[in-house]
Structure 1
Amino acid sequence: MAVANVFSQTTGVTAGSLVANDLFINGFAIDATANIAAGDSTGVLRAAINAKTASTGVTANVNGSGGLVLKAADGRNIALYSTANGATLTGASAGSNLYRGAVRLTSQADVSFSGRTTDLGSASTTVPYTTNLDNSLSLLDITTQDGANTAILSLDAALAQISKVRSDVGALTSRLELTTQALTVSAENQEAAAARIKDADFAYETAQFTRNQILVQAGTAILGQANSTSQIALQLLQR
């Protein structure tokens, strides 16, 4: 995952002269010769560096305090090298400086790394890679841009987690409401059945039941008499 690598001067660009091949960025010479105004107000230094962006991958700009800002959008390292002392930019006088890219990982879950020390890039003793595992909000300094950005990322992650919990609780609440509605309908049906039972006239219903039993028994007796009458008639004919 690539992220932008940014180097920014803490002091403004001072007036001086830029000589061709005195300044190298990521191994490519800035082959321009020009006078540089304080704070690069004329944009000469920016134009010279940006002319090599296709090769170096680095773009230049000036911040509000007149300091030079170098940015590698793809996160590559920014290596500065100067062959002569000059007032081009602080930190680029005779020698070299390397500004490594950094990756910030934010996750709702734990982030783990594995591998040997050299695999993780910690073998260098001069400019080692570092990891910051201290994510306590109480230790953040929001007076700095980096601290404020970290605080915002932490708050965004917390809000995302709260939204997920609210979504889960909302889904559970909906299921509970549906279950409650179904139980309410069932209870109403049972209450209606119980009301019909309570409203029944047991004396009338008992009389009707007895009457129906008598009718059934009488019908059975008459049917038996009818069957026996035919048998008696046959017996008389046989005599």
Structure 2
Amino acid sequence: MGLTVTNSNTLSLLNILNKTSSAQSDTLAKLSTGYRVNKGSDDPAGLIAIQSLNSELVSVDAALSNSARAKSMLDVADGSLKEISSLLTQVQTLAAASVSSGGLSGAELAANQAQIDNAITAIDRIVRTSSFNGKNLLDGAQSIRATASDPTKVSDVRVYSRPSQDSTQSFAVNVTTAGTVASATLTTVSAASLGDAQFTVTGSLGTATITVADADTFAEIRDKIIAAASETGVSASISGSELHLQSRDYGSSKFVSASLISGDTDFANVSRTNGTNAVVTVNGQQAFVDGLKVSYNSNGTSGDFTLTTTGNVAGSAGNVNIDGGGATFQLGTSSNTRSTVGLNSLYSHDLGDSISGYLNTIKSGGANDLSTDANKALEIAKKAISQVATAQGRIGGFTKFQVESSVNSLNATKEGLTAARSTVRDIDFAVETAELSRQNVLLQSALSLLGVANQQSGQILSLLR
């Protein structure tokens, strides 16, 4: 190349210097932010992937927040249920102590009744005040609304969950076979012909020894058996000259038996005789039945109800109709991950059932208080305990298998998405630091060579001297 005033070397070096300086600026930006992609020109496809991953992570974080709130709400309900269960256990203990009234004075029975009254009042207070973020939990405000089309056949309808997208549903209830109590004949001899005897009566709750005097009437013998019903679960009835034993409840788990210990052999030994469960279909699907209590799971809906004595006959028992309600939780990132759970009312007038009676009836002055029927009070307390345990189990199951499993899945998803975003977006500091060192060397070298190139222009002036 000739010696001219146009110094192409300088221009070339300036171009290289500008490129190196621009690359160094990009490297410094990456090192200062920690991101490989800071603007669209860094990696257009990568930027699209990052924005998509960011959107998914925002959805996952929102779902995790929703799940955490759902768990907190259900934990509050579970804590209240634990206290209600504890109070009901105390009610059961007091009722059981009051059944054997022979060893208790009137003042002691009155004290037991007063304690039961206080416990039931406390239960109603807990139900009324249990809330989360301003929403009552156990007073029925969060229950799934369900009714029976024929309340004379189906009662105590409760729904524990339903599909969130189907707020209105109807389930046809059909009784294939009626349920029965366990029943057997103890004696067919009139009371006037019976003598002294002692025998045991055994049922699903246990065994009691019955002592009969020669002068006892059929009614007195029957009443002795009934008085021990809280120990045995066996009642008695008279039909003409026959004395019958029967379980107080329906179902295959209920049974009666009797064994003569001594005395009049007209009291027969009764081998174990079991009742039967009703056979019921809900929307054509076989339901789970314990006596007359029917539990079903159909099309994402689960619940239970009780057949009344009127409904305990073969044929249609009407429909169970659902009309919305319940607490709905968003447990995932899409609209089809919503779940609805029902928190049914647990007031004392809802605990129990239509057959045995409700918890509020065992308060002072109620139809089943201790002075009226301590056996019935004990039976109701047991059913209330079972009902609360069922509610607690349903909430616990929903928390464990729906909420907590969703949280675990979302955390795994978040981990995967974060790792994927990091792969696309984040820089390798070791690589970028090495690149910055290389650019510094190139920049210093270019600056030094630019000085050399500028000296070439000065040589032209020396020729003109």
Q: TM-score interval w.r.t. the shorter chain? A: 0.3 to 0.5
Q: TM-score, normalised by structure 2?
A: 0.24
More strand by share: 2
Which has the higher Rg, Structure 1 or Structure 2?
1
